Structure 1
Amino acid sequence: MNAFVISTSSFNIDNNPAIQHLLQKGMRAIPNPYRRKLTEDEIIGLLNDGAVGLIAGIEPLTERVFQSAKKLKVISRCGTGLDSVDLTAAKNHGITVLNTPEAPAQAVAELTLGLILASLRQIGQIDQSIRKGEWPRTQGRLLAAQTIGIIGMGYIGRRVARLCQAFEATVIAHDPYTNQILADVTLMPLEQLLATADIISLHMPYTPDTHHLLDAQAFAIMKPEAIVINAARGGLVDENALAQALKTGKLAAAALDVFEQEPYQGPLIESNQIILTSHIGSLARESRQRMEIEAAENLLQGLIKTGLIND
């Protein structure tokens, strides 16, 4: 019996029409038993149980995985980024790779806005002070008075720009892959953006070229009270350099939803100037439902095209 793996940490199988269609066709679903991001060995183990399809999370899908998964024909990424997939190796093994680029965009954009507002008004620190019996009268900063620098103007970056503009903030952007721009957003080189922006928000894919895009040198260019937001991909920020920049007062604050190693256990946990969230960018109920439905539909259509199941 053909099978498909669902490697995401959670997935609503019962209320997904495409998944139910696959099950009715006699296919077997293999869920993620660990309910967390899988290692390379763990995904190999699941795929080796006769899987022809995969609804993928952010586990490493490498040449080694594809060499082992002899029957695998279709990968449907439940989300936007494909940086965890060796696309060249997948092509060489005749594996189709699909994703859901628009489904999580609004959820990630709204989380980004929340992280920006929480950082500016120091909401987390004030909450903790009150719980200790204090009554701080902390003076924050207005989003309307800030210049927001968005690095990456794809589906998510454009939404973040519009949300910030609704608060009357000035928006500047850097994106080496596009000349298309929203109204009232100024494109500029990266170093100019880093020196100009009060808040820098990352919305780029992770590649070898963007590894530690924000490092000690980048932090040195920024304004003394700059805020860094990363709800894109771990690895874009040098976390040790960020911890040092916060400790020395070079940066005012930061907020990270993604990390190089997850779950995160690094030095940023000790800083009270940073907001840490557990890779929840797409985890808004409505967005997650849409993303799962689109990912399952992509898998279904991919398997139909390969001839593994009938329509």
Structure 2
Amino acid sequence: MAKTAIIEAFGGPEQFKLVDRPVGDPGPGEIRIRHEALGLNFIDVYQRTGLYPNALPLALGMEAAGVVTEVGDGVAHLKAGDRAAYAAGPPGAYTEERVMPAAQVCPLPDAISFEEGAAMMLKGMTVVYLFERTVPLKAGDWVLFHAAAGGVGLIACQWARAKGIHLIGTAGSDEKCALAKEHGAEHVINYRSEDFEARVKEITDQRGVDVVMDSVGKDTFEGSLKCLRPLGTMISFGNASGPVPPFELGRLGALGSLKITRPTLFTHIAKHEDCQAMAQELFAMVTSGKVKIRVDQRFALDQVAEAHRALEARKTVGGTVLLP
């Protein structure tokens, strides 16, 4: 049996219940993994509220690190005793131990701690697909990155610095702006006290940026479009402030023949070989020291509701982990 955080109805953090669930044995293509640390992400909030619906009752969580305790038939890249980490479906990472598909579980280098592994897989591989797979970015390009002091944002700031990309980061306080600057943002904007659209134009001599990376959604979408240069690309990859409302497609032409995409990590890692390759890119950046993974908040598994409240209230910076 394993202690597991579940919900039986969609709603607020108060919906969480901690229950004992049987773990079971891995079947073909599966592993059993004992978790040492669990990742906390906004996708967990979307699933808890029902914005991203799943069948109930639902064990939440998409990211964790731990030790493989058993492998099923056909699993060749992992064995019992291996350190491993993942950001993958199905949900169910908020537990002490689980059985799950093995294809998207990745061997974790010894140089990376379990807490770092749990805080970096979803956020770090998101940065990999944003910078390396969605748009062909190169040194000298300009990127506007919203929520630059969050878990994804601080990795993105470091990634941009390592690649020679000019990153303008936004955040909701002077302290968070300073944190983003410390991690590699070339320019920072406090969107609560400054007009980010006007500042981006000022910073870029009215040219605009090549790419906007926006996980905030509703509150920043319109301004983000106006920050793009002609032929620029809007990457909308989250909805922290709520989903983007419908808009007239023709506006993209009027604003300069803009492009827009709404990618997800889980499309990018759907193939085993792609997932493992992306993880290796991430591990290489972390073990080289070019990207450091911050774990700024830790909660026990039975404090999961409190952790969700902190995340939704924008009271977290860097990575947050749950400890089973």
TM-score range, shorter chain: 0.3 to 0.5
Higher percent of residues as strand = 2
Higher percent of residues as helix = 1
Larger Rg: 1
**Given the two structures, how large is their TM-score scaled by the length of structure 2?**
0.43
